Structure 1
Amino acid sequence: MSAIVLALPLAGVATASESQASGDGQYCSWLVGPAPADGGVSPVLANECSDVSPEDAQERMRTAASQGSTAARTALVDVPIMYWYEHTDFNNMGGAKGEFTTIFGSAGPCDGAGYRVEPTYWWKHNLSSIIGGSNCDFARLTNIALNSSQEFGIAGYYARYLGGFHDNVGLTQPHA
């Protein structure tokens, strides 16, 4: 994986909140399926973490995906759609040790519909900055209470601070 950690330029299906808890490793990689048409959350097809590196977390996720459901085995796991950072300014421009998760989309790059990814309980309370990848230039963030949402540009440095959604993200919907 060529993780953009600030250079910028499991078998089965579970929701993110069921499949990952805090403390699984500093670096995580999730593989999510496309959002269902009914407005539901994208299924998490594989999810692995590592304290070694983002690349190690991705390799673990690939292994889990290759042993998982048919959807996970046939996924395009090289399509990163979002990078989540625990601290503002993308973990203080790499200067702060913090959690880092790469979200991969199984159906390829973002389109108009995109994906709907529910953060784990820990990420809901600690997500502070986001970078989009693979044509995911925007994201609609919904707060934890699910009663307020806002559109953010997530390409480049635009989502370095999430304002009222800082440590208050109940749902992310990255899209083109």
Structure 2
Amino acid sequence: MTQRIGEITNGANQKEEREKAHKCAGWLGGPQSAIRHGDQQVHVKERITTMVRVESRNLLARMGAILAVAAVAVSLGPVKADATAAGTGADRYCAVLIGKSTEEKPSPVLARACDDSSAANAREKMLQVTSKDGSNSTMKPLAADLLMTWYSDTDYHGASTNVFGDDGPCDRAGYRLDVNNTTFGLWSHILSSARGSGPCNTARFANRAGTSSQEFGLPVPYLGSLLNDNVGTIWVYNR
């Protein structure tokens, strides 16, 4: 009997010890699980932080590239008007017929025409659209009546306009052209070089604002920084 009581007592003690051990393990298991969960949160946070940093660097790189392109565009300044258009659509060659100036006033524009294939074609078209005699005009300026030729680029390149005089070749009085006149299209903004014809050996160019001018012997391959793409009036004459 005593032996049986001892066995029961020992069994009870062992059960109690096992329950204590389970409680201890459960108590320890709680914080460990919390620690593991905390580690996962820290790991996710670190990954998010890394992704944000990468995206920020990419955004800064893109912004830098955009600013660099903008800086280049600003440094280049305004783009010159399309010289081949020269205010005439797609036409590269133009011809203008002007009358004699009186009292130092601008010479009247009698006709103007353009062509995209040749200066000769532009001249023929001009003869058909003279404002003085209408579309059936038979006016035929002589070759000597070519006063000067404008070019949109330096050294006599690019689009061109031949200027003819209705009152014969140049004399001391010459002809005066108001290039600011819309009849001439964009030429006040693109004229860079010019040739004279026959006795038309001198020309005075003034800027669009009319604040400064310079005289050149013709031909002139470059009008200089002050007048290049900035011509308001031209006085072409014989000297």
- For normalisation by structure 2, the TM-score amounts to 0.57
Contact 1:80 1:133 in 2 (8 A): yes
Asked if the contact 1:85–1:128 (Cα under 8 Å) also holds between the matched residues in 2, the reply is yes
Which segment drifts farther, 113-122 or 161-170? 113-122
The one of 154, 161, 176 aligned to 2:222: 161
| Distance in 2 separating the partners of 1:69 and 1:46 | 8
Q: 1:49-60 to 2 correspondence within 5 Å?
A: 49-60=114-125
Q: CA deviation at 1:134?
A: 2.7
Percent of aligned pairs with the same amino acid: 40
Correspondence for 1:112: 172
After TM superposition, list the pairs within 5 Å mapping 1:22-171 onto structure 2.
Answer: 22-23=88-89, 25-37=91-103, 39-65=104-130, 68-70=131-133, 73=137, 77-78=141-142, 79-91=145-157, 98-119=158-179, 120-155=184-219, 159-163=220-224, 164-171=226-233
Query: In 2, distance between residues paired with 1:33 and 1:57?
Result: 18
Matched with 1:4 is none
- Structure 2 unaligned regions, length at least 5: 1-85
- Figure out how many residues of one structure are paired with residues of the other and give that number: 145
Q: Which has the larger radius of gyration?
A: 2
Helix, strand or coil for the counterpart of 1:60? Answer: helix
Opposite residue 80 of structure 1, the aligned amino acid is L
More helix by share: 2
RMSD: 2.1
CA distance in 2, matches of 1:54, 1:76: 15
8 Å CA contact 2:204–2:234 kept in 1: the answer is: yes
> Matched residue of 2:105: which SS?
coil
Distance 1:154-1:89 versus aligned 2 partners, 3 A rule: same
Structure 1 unaligned residues grouped into runs of 5+: 1-19, 92-97
Task: Flag the 1:24–1:117 CA change in 2: closer, same or farther, 3 A.
Answer: farther
TM superposition outliers: structure 1 runs of 4+ over 2 Å = 70-76
Alpha-carbon distance in structure 2 between the residues aligned to 1:148 and 1:74: 40
2:97–2:111 Cα contact (<8 Å) kept: yes
